[in-house]
Amino acid sequence: MDIDFTTLPAPDRYRLLTNFVGPRPIALVGTRSSAGHDNAAPMSFFNVFAHEPPLVVLGIQNRGNGEEKDTVANIRRTGEFVVNMVDMKLADAMIVCSVNFSSDIDEIAFAGLTPIPCNQIDAARIAESPCSFECRVERILEYPKRVLVIGEVVHMHVQDQCLDPQGRYVNPETYQPIARLHADNYITSDRQFELKKPDALLPFEAEQVAPSTERASR
């Protein structure tokens, strides 16, 4: 089947993109309201975009009634947010945080999670999250009914057991984020496998990548 996206109605584009572009990582995004409440909302239009500068991106659309979500209002005002990664232990609480609560609810506590102050930004991160990234807004790209938020990571917290003994690489046995598939379907990352370029093909590489980038990381 061929599908022309230039003539396709928006709900169909949403269905096809979210059904087939996956699994998508989930950021449980923490922000602070003007009255000081801790807001948290999952976002799967999310990814890391670069490491120099260290950028993450969030795609956040307005609610059905056209209002901006609390996350966007808070990010516009404070210029700060925290990305908490989500594993199986956090899955139920993550779904609670996806409910459209009023902005005077402390959503982290309501979901049964523990807020702790961030180091460099004015927002609470989630103690139970395996790792969290404190971010400052780099820029906000405006689109009709939605925004793309680009954030620069200024601080990372990672639970010790999610790192190898040297504290450099991830421990894949203990860090297993969940990701979103289609509709209400998710996937765990507990069936990982290694895939290396065959040695026979290495002479064809045009350039050697510096050890600090992709080739050296797992």
Ligand X SMILES: Cc1cc2nc3c(=O)[nH]c(=O)nc-3n(C[C@H](O)[C@H](O)[C@H](O)COP(=O)(O)O)c2cc1C
Which residues contribute to the site for ligand X (CB under 6 A)? 26, 39, 41-45, 59-61, 69-71, 95, 98-100, 180
Closest CB to ligand X among residues 61, 171: 61
Q: Name the minimum Å distance from CB 206 to ligand X.
A: 36
Instruction: Copy the structure tokens of residue 191.
Output: 């069936």
Closest CB to ligand X among residues 43, 131: 43
Q: How far apart are CA 211 and CA 28, in angstroms?
A: 31
Closest CB to ligand X among residues 170, 179: 179
Q: Name the minimum Å distance from CB 195 to ligand X.
A: 27
Q: Name the minimum Å distance from CB 112 to ligand X.
A: 16
Closest CB to ligand X among residues 59, 172: 59
Q: How far apart are CA 97 and CA 111, in angstroms?
A: 7
Q: Name the minimum Å distance from CB 77 to ligand X.
A: 13
Q: Name the minimum Å distance from CB 58 to ligand X.
A: 7
Q: How far apart are CA 155 and CA 47, in angstroms?
A: 17
What would you report as the CA-atom Rg of the chain, rounded to the nearest whole angstrom?
19
Question: What are residue 131's DSSP bridge partners?
Answer: 158
Closest CB to ligand X among residues 61, 174: 61
Residue in 109, 86, 21 with CA at minimum distance from that of residue 59: 21
Residue 49: count of CB within 10 angstroms of its CB: 13
C-alpha distances in Å from residue 23, one per residue of 29, 57, 60, 182: 18, 16, 18, 8
